[in-house]
């Protein structure tokens, strides 16, 4: 079963507004994985979590031209997921 760290990776700011943080999401996931980049409404990029010096870190990766990250497949595909906006 794949763990989606997105809901647990929210920081609270001084105005009590939830802010998503990719590095925090990778720490919560606690493993090498990929998932949707919540900061990208076009779905053209995704987060790659990797272990570095004992800490899971986030790297933003881009899909190829005319591809979108598919959360179920955990990879880029030509099918635009529902809810993504066009560039």
31-77: per-residue pLDDT in tens? Answer: 999 999 999 999 999 999 999 999 999 999 999 999 999 999 999 99
pLDDT at residue 13, as a whole number? 47
pLDDT at residue 86, as a whole number? 84
pLDDT at residue 19, as a whole number? 85
Separation CA 80–CA 44 (nearest Å): 9
Contact 56, 28 (CB under 8 A): no
Number of Cα atoms under 13 Å in the Cβ half of residue 44: 7
């Amino acid at each position: 079963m794949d763990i989606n760290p997105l809901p647990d990776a929210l920081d609270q700011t001084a105005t009590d507004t939830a802010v998503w943080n990719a590095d925090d999401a990778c720490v919560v996931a606690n493993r090498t994985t990929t998932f949707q980049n919540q900061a990208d409404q076009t779905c053209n990029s995704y987060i790659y979590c990797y272990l570095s010096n004992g800490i899971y870190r986030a790297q933003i990766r881009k899909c190829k031209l005319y591809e979108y990250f598919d959360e179920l497949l955990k990879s880029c595909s030509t099918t635009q997921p529902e809810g993504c906006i066009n560039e």
